[in-house]
Copies of this chain bind each other. A is one copy, B any other.
Amino acid sequence: MLEEILRQVQKGDLSVAEAKQKLATYEDLGFAKVDHHRKKRQGFSEIVFGEGKSAEQIISIIKALREKNNNVLVTRISKAKAEHVIQECPEFIYHDIAQILLWKNEAIEVANDSKGYINIICAGTSDLKVAEEAAITAEALGCNVQRMYDVGVAGIHRLFDHYEEIQQATVSVVVAGMEGALPSVIGGLVSHPVIAVPTSVGYGANFHGLSALLTMLNSCASGISVVNIDNGFGGAYNAALIYQLAQKGAGSE
């Protein structure tokens, strides 16, 4: 593309000023354009981190994003703040447990012919908040999602009811607090990538999630990588990237 611009200058098809702007674009907006293309192609929603932003700030951001006709996803937004936003933008829907505010652009028709699914696994009710953040995010990013919320290491036998569903997923997101051992067990049962999400659930020597985080980083099972404590969004985003790769195949970009 650089060569083309230069040739156009040489030929006089492009003034120096025009070329200068284009080359600046090559450096700067070029990146954004790629982003823009990628999002359209993949149906990925725009994502807003809601924590620490006022309802007013969120409203002005999501109005701008909505203009682009993309889905819009706001994570880590409290119920009170979300209700405030919905008064202004009633097309948004609030997911209570996940603390996510979501607008799905119905105008974007997504023919869902995607194969496989992301398996979101967690042990119990206390990790639900993070698991749901992952699940809603992955769905908003256009992936098939399966929730598997009734399994935990302390009753390992429950996993075996679901043995085939666990193995056949395209990629797994495993959410666990306290000792965080579940990803190791899942990692030993499957041959696909596992994204481990430690949670701050627990007390005392869990040190706000440090315990689960270290467990997952030191897993003796191969094929496990880890995101930040309570980062359900990050777990889902990584899984969605992998899921998309599995849809379109390598080298197709």
User: Which residues of B have CB within 8 Å of A198?
Assistant: 204
User: Which residues of B have CB within 8 Å of A105?
Assistant: none
**Residue from A157, A171, A216, A229 whose CB has the most chain B CB atoms within 10 Å:** A157
User: Which residues of B have CB within 8 Å of A221?
Assistant: 153-154
> Is A242's CB within 8 Å of the partner chain B?
yes
Sample of 22 A–B contacts (CB below 8 Å): A28-B160, A30-B157, A34-B167, A35-B191, A114-B250, A154-B185, A156-B156, A156-B185, A157-B189, A167-B253, A191-B253, A198-B204, A203-B230, A204-B229, A205-B213, A206-B214, A214-B214, A218-B228, A222-B238, A242-B242, A246-B249, A246-B250
**A154–B182 CA distance with the chains assembled, in angstroms:** 10
Residues of chain A touching chain B, judged by Cβ–Cβ distance below 8 Å, are 2-3, 6-7, 9-10, 12, 16, 19-20, 23-24, 27-28, 30-32, 34-35, 38, 42, 47, 51-53, 57, 114-116, 123-126, 152-161, 167-168, 170-171, 178-181, 184-185, 187-189, 191-193, 195, 198, 200-231, 234-235, 237-238, 241-243, 245-247, 249-253
**A250 and B251 contacting across the interface, CB-CB below 8 Å:** no
Complex partner residue of A20 from B2, B217, B237, CB under 8 angstroms: B2
Q: How far is the CB of A140 from chain B (nearest CB, A)?
A: 13
User: Which residues of B have CB within 8 Å of A32?
Assistant: 157
**A96–B225 CA distance with the chains assembled, in angstroms:** 26
Known contacts A161-B28, A181-B153, A246-B250; is A207 also within 8 Å of B211 by CB? no
The chain B residue sitting closest to A176, CB to CB, is: B220
Q: How many copies does the complex hold?
A: 8
User: Which residues of B have CB within 8 Å of A192?
Assistant: 241, 245, 253
**A218 and B178 contacting across the interface, CB-CB below 8 Å:** yes
Complex partner residue of A245 from B6, B20, B170, B202, CB under 8 angstroms: B170
